[in-house]
């Protein structure tokens, strides 16, 4: 009994990334050695079912709480900061669209069903508007993410306008509770990944990883292109200064830690310490860093867009330029609800897929693929998101200093 308890303690003390990696390896080995032991695939099915159950509630409360908590009467620094956050997230989604068109990726999905793509842009808007105004409770129960996002935004705005601080605190606490439930579910990810990888390898062999390798390269490539090229361009446009010394400082001192924690929220104290070392205004960064952990989600926008277009390619759904453009807007808005939970951006894939007429069951299979590659994808995504919070906080303050008197 004692050796078992010691083994359990060692397991719980390991990082989630390492546990997922162990589950991935064990699942692959079992899939090759004993493919007839189909019982292991149940672990993956249960894990995905749990995610399907909690994801709609998570999106609803996180988006509503984020909007309700956003401070009012923001000064010039915050206007510049939010401009940088939103523009960066949109460009990240646009970069992912271009990358997906240049290097299209398909996924290995089980139980393939036909995706009914809208035949014209008019149909796109009709479906979008119809889904938006669906009963909010029905939207949550049926995983209608367009409706969830629409009603969550309205509720957040209403709370911000009408509710007192105590009520907003209750909503924020409820969002924390749901986030904690999701974190508990994510703790079972190693076993779920074991089952998912076992199912993939036993049915398709190890060639499934070559497809995932292409997918990982596309995701990481788009993320690094946005971080190393487009974000510095935004900073240079705002400050007219060489942005790379600041960028590399942020990547080294914030990004590396966030890579292993896989949580922008957990990296907030690290970012605030870095801001203090950069001699930024404490009153500013004490608000901007938590705000960035919520709405500065470049990596999430990339993941959401690339995975959605990969599902569309797999299903044979043709995506027009205008549909891809609107997908960028949806990814930009939806990414704001992906913060605070490991793998949160993956849970928004069904929302984006529904815009292209792809069903929830197929989209959730893409979520499962995302968790298989999440050891790399989610770690890189979080590292770039979190380091970007400090990068754009400093950018906004440097702009304000220059405007107020050219002070460094």
Predicted local confidence at residue 337, as pLDDT? 53
Tell whether the model's pLDDT for residue 187 goes beyond 90: no
Kindly state the average pLDDT of the residues 141-148: 75
> Which range among 37-41, 201-205, 376-380 shows the weakest confidence by mean pLDDT?
201-205
Query: What percentage of the chain exceeds 90 in pLDDT?
Result: 10
Domain boundaries of the chain, sorted by first residue: 17-405
70-99: average pLDDT = 81
Inter-residue contact 312 to 118 (CB < 8 Å): no
Q: Do residues 115 and 357 lie in contact, with contact meaning Cβ atoms separated by under 8 Å?
A: yes
**Nearest to residue 342, comparing CAs of 233, 191, 183, 188?**
183
pLDDT band at 115 (very low <50, low <70, confident <90, very high): very low
Token pair 């705005």 is at which residue? 157
Q: Which of 49, 114, 57, 98 is nearest to 357 (CA)?
A: 114
Helices (H), 255-297: 256-261, 268-277, 282-295
Q: What is the average pLDDT value for the chain, to the nearest integer?
A: 78
Confidence of residue 125 (pLDDT cuts 50, 70, 90): low
CA angle 35, 36, 37 (to 5 degrees): 90
Supply the pLDDT for residue 153. Answer: 79
pLDDT of amino acid 262: 65
Spatial contact of 243 and 236, defined as CB atoms under 8 Å apart: yes
Task: Please give the Cα distance from 333 to 321 (Å, whole number).
Answer: 19
Task: Give the confidence band of 221 by pLDDT, cuts at 50, 70, 90.
Answer: very high
Residue 230 pLDDT > 60: yes
Provide mean pLDDT across the span 281-287: 74
Question: Quick one: which of 186, 203, 188, 187 has its CA closest to 30?
Answer: 203
Name the CATH code of domain 17-405 (choices 2.60.120, 1.10.3860, 2.102.10, 3.30.200).
Answer: 1.10.3860
The residue ranking higher by pLDDT, 363 or 390, is 390
Whether pTM exceeds 0.75: no
User: Among the ranges 12-21, 129-138, 302-311, which has the highest mean pLDDT value?
Assistant: 302-311
Question: What's the average model confidence in pLDDT over 276-284?
Answer: 81
Q: Is the pLDDT at 68 greater than 70, yes or no?
A: yes
Flag the least confident range among 83-87, 176-180, 220-224. Answer: 176-180
- pLDDT of res. 235: 92
Residue 148 in contact with residue 59, Cβ under 8 Å?
yes
C-alpha to C-alpha distance for 214 and 211, rounded to whole angstroms: 5
394 phi, psi to nearest 5 deg? -65, -40
What the block records as the tokens of 244 is 């790379």
């Amino acid at each position: 009994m004692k050796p078992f308890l010691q083994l359990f303690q060692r397991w719980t003390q390991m990082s989630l990334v390492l546990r997922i990696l162990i589950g991935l390896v064990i699942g692959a080995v079992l899939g090759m050695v004993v493919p007839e032991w189909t019982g292991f695939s149940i672990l993956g099915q249960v894990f995905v079912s749990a995610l399907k159950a909690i994801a709609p509630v998570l999106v609803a409360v996180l988006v509503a709480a984020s909007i309700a908590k956003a401070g009012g009467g923001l000064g010039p620094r915050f206007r510049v900061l939010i401009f940088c956050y939103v523009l960066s997230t949109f460009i990240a989604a646009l970069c992912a669209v271009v990358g997906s068109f240049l290097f299209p990726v398909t996924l290995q999905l089980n139980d393939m069903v036909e995706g009914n793509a809208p035949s014209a842009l008019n149909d796109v808007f009709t479906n979008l508007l119809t889904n938006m105004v669906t009963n909010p409770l029905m939207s949550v129960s049926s995983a209608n993410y367009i409706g969830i996002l629409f009603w969550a935004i309205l509720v957040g705005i209403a709370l911000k306008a009408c509710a007192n601080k105590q009520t907003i605190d209750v909503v924020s606490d409820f969002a924390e509770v749901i986030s904690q439930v999701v974190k508990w579910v994510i703790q079972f990810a190693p076993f779920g990944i074991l089952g998912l990888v076992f199912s993939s390898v036993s049915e398709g062999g190890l060639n499934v990883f070559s497809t995932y390798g292409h997918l990982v390269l596309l995701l990481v490539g788009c993320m690094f292109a946005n971080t190393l090229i487009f974000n510095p361009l935004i900073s240079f446009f705002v400050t007219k200064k060489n942005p790379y010394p600041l960028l590399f400082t942020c990547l080294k001192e914030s990004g590396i830690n966030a890579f292993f924690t896989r949580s922008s929220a957990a990296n907030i104290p690290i970012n605030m310490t870095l801001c203090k070392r950069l001699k930024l205004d404490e009153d500013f960064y004490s608000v901007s860093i938590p705000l960035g952990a919520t709405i500065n989600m470049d990596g999430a926008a990339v993941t959401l867009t690339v995975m959605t277009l990969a599902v569309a390619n797999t299903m044979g759904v043709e995506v027009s330029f205008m549909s891809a453009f609107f997908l960028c807007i949806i990814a930009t808005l939806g990414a704001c609800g992906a913060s605070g939970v490991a793998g949160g951006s993956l849970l928004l894939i069904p929302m984006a897929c529904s815009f292209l007429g792809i069903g929830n069951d197929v989209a959730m299979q893409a979520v499962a693929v995302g968790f298989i590659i999440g050891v790399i994808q989610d770690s890189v995504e979080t590292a770039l998101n979190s380091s970007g919070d400090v990068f754009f906080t400093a950018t906004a303050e440097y702009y304000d200093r220059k405007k107020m008197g050219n002070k460094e």
